[in-house]
A = this chain, B = another copy of it.
């Protein structure tokens, strides 16, 4: 394979972007981060990704071929797992892969819609881009809903080593990506969810997690224990 350069267009508050960062780091693919503000996408960015969402991965080849442009987190992650098979982040058996993909969608879509999206929007984006006062009903709904997801993580990891089975897979990275955004904002009630906390502590101490723990968002300080491995 010719030398390639990877540019990941992302936003640090976007869990789907964080999932791709974790996947690339687990596979030890070096990449450059390009910050986008998806709530006011540049024209140039819309040309890369007409949906205007993050993440988008641009792969440039040194041989002057047209770049490969990939968007939508699951499409990017499946691509990376197909092309960079070490370490695999999906299992060999079709049935196990289905469970891994189900759980990935659970966290990336259901947990995001019920918890993460509310808190990002109300506590961070409204401040960073304007948009009025935080809606306390949405914040309370998110604080209520997060318990169910932490319980589910606890329940899964009581029966399995990782969320979907014996191996670390996309499912763990998708769940951890949601939680790392929430943890940045200090919104995870770890003290009530010891089993989920133990699982997160294992992920947080992996080398792939380190770059995320260095994130610093302008105008939004991370919570005290965000980068603390002994939280």
Residue A206 lies at the interface, judged by CB distance under 8 Å to chain B: no
Known contacts A75-B105, A105-B75; is A98 also within 8 Å of B70 by CB?
A: yes
Query: Are the C-beta atoms of A110 and B51 separated by less than 8 Å?
Result: yes
Which residue on chain B has the smallest CB distance to residue A78? Answer: B101
* A68 in contact (CB, < 8 A): yes
Question: With contacts A82-B97, A101-B78 known, is A106 near B68, CB below 8 A?
Answer: no
- Which one of B70, B72, B101 contacts A72 once the chains associate, using CB atoms below 8 Å? B101
Total identical chains = 2
A205 to B50, CA, bound (A): 30
Question: Are B68 and A102 in contact, CB atoms less than 8 angstroms apart?
Answer: no
Q: Are B110 and A98 in contact (CB under 8 A)?
A: no
A74 at the B interface (CB under 8 A): yes
Complex Cα spacing A48 to B190, Å: 29
User: How many angstroms from the CA of A51 to the CA of B79 in the assembled complex?
Assistant: 27
Which B residues touch A83, using CB under 8 A? 94
- A-B contacts, 13 of them at CB < 8 A, read A70-B95, A71-B102, A72-B101, A74-B74, A74-B101, A74-B105, A75-B98, A75-B101, A75-B105, A76-B98, A78-B98, A79-B95, A82-B97
18 extra A-B contacts, CB within 8 A, seeds A75-B102, A76-B98:
A50-B152, A68-B95, A70-B98, A71-B102, A72-B101, A72-B105, A72-B106, A74-B74, A74-B105, A75-B97, A75-B98, A75-B99, A78-B98, A79-B95, A79-B97, A79-B98, A82-B94, A82-B97
Show the binding face of A for B, using Cβ within 8 Å: 50-51, 68, 70-72, 74-76, 78-79, 82-83, 94-95, 97-99, 101-102, 105-106, 109-110, 152
